[in-house]
Amino acid sequence: MKWGKILITGGAGFLGTHLVEYLLRKGESEIVIFDQLKYHKSEHYGNNVEYFKGNIILQKDVREVFKLHGPFQTVYHLAAIMPNKSVP
């Protein structure tokens, strides 16, 4: 099944990585992972997944991901600030 182009904010986190793997198992999808990528070792999911390093609370980063990679058919918003991590 073709899901279309998908943006996953927080896609390098616990929930995000599981969602990426699930979507890839379900069929061909173009996925953009939007995350700060501070504590993440990039995984190679294949040609259908791209990383965008940015901060969801910065409007310029949100505009940039949509400008460079959009339009998206679906956006999964999983980004969060963890209480044990410092805010930039």
* DSSP letters for 61-78: HHHHHHHHH---SEEEE-
Judging by DSSP bridges, how do beta strands 49-53 and 74-77 pair with one another? unpaired
User: pTM, whole model, 2 decimals?
Assistant: 0.84
CA distance 3 to 25: 11
pLDDT along the chain (88 residues), means of 10: 84 92 88 85 78 95 97 94 61
